[in-house]
Chain A
Amino acid sequence: EAGVAQSPRYKIIEKRQSVAFWCNPISGHATLYWYQQILGQGPKLLIQFQNNGVVDDSQLPKDRFSAERLKGVDSTLKIQPAKLEDSAVYLCASSPEGLAAPVFGPGTRLTVL
């Protein structure tokens, strides 16, 4: 089966600019996750979708981050405006349902200058 796809793989922006990341989960996976992984740390969950509904966004900095999964398949994560501390790898993952461990995509490495 095709894995989780993410684009772009790398992005460099200046602070206060906006950026968007795209994720296409494994076909049939109802649950989609976005994680932020800062260098030297483990992944931190930002938001979890079940189909097109948000299950948990308690750790999403909602003043600058937003995410959507309008048709219950693809998802986008946006940062506006970006700060230096947003430099990280943004991982998308999906699973058939909540009990299954997530399958991770390759990640998008964001550098904010």
Chain B
Amino acid sequence: AQRVTQPEKLLSVFKGAPVELKCNYSYSGSPELFWYVQYSRQRLQLLLRHISRESIKGFTADLNKGETSFHLKKPFAQEEDSAMYYCALSGRTNAGKSTFGDGTTLTVKP
């Protein structure tokens, strides 16, 4: 069975500090990993997916198959990064059939 674990429900950092949101997964096969973000009063939206290898809003995530992790990182957090972040996993052929973690609420303090 596939599973996504986000061990931190809440994460708080100061502006300018590095931030890392953890995501661990279990999946038999080759997974597709995603990070979604939901800002206050906004819709859930895609932040990045691992096959794109993009940096979005300064965030990056590296798939570590050995440790089955897909942690989200940003070197210098900004107040506007405060949001709920969800890690999700799917098979390679159906991105919408995703298993989501329970989310981490990130608060960036001034």
Q: Which of A3, A31, A44, A48 contacts B100 (CB under 8 A)?
A: A44
B: which residues have CB within 8 A of A?
4, 34, 43-46, 49, 86, 88, 93-98, 100-103
The residues of A that contact B102 with a CB separation of less than 8 Å are 40-42
A101 to B94, CA, bound (A): 8
Verify B93–A99 contact, CB threshold 8 A.
Answer: yes
**Chain A 41-85 near chain B by CB (<8 Å), digits 1 or 0:** 111110010000001100000000000000000000000000000
Verify B49–A91 contact, CB threshold 8 A.
Answer: no
Whole-angstrom distance between the Cβ of B23 and the nearest chain A Cβ: 11
A88 at the interface (CB under 8 A from B): no
In the complex formed, the residue of A with least CB distance to B45 is A104
Q: Which of B4, B96, B103 contacts A102 (CB under 8 A)?
A: B96
A: which residues have CB within 8 A of B?
3, 31, 33, 40-45, 48, 55-56, 91, 93, 95, 98-107
Whole-angstrom distance between the Cβ of A23 and the nearest chain B Cβ: 13
In the complex formed, the residue of A with least CB distance to B84 is A42
Verify A42–B86 contact, CB threshold 8 A.
Answer: yes
Verify B43–A3 contact, CB threshold 8 A.
Answer: yes
Verify B100–A101 contact, CB threshold 8 A.
Answer: no
Verify B4–A42 contact, CB threshold 8 A.
Answer: yes
Whole-angstrom distance between the Cβ of A26 and the nearest chain B Cβ: 12
Given A42-B88, A101-B34, A104-B43, does the pair A48, B97 have CB atoms closer than 8 Å?
A: yes
A18 to B23, CA, bound (A): 37
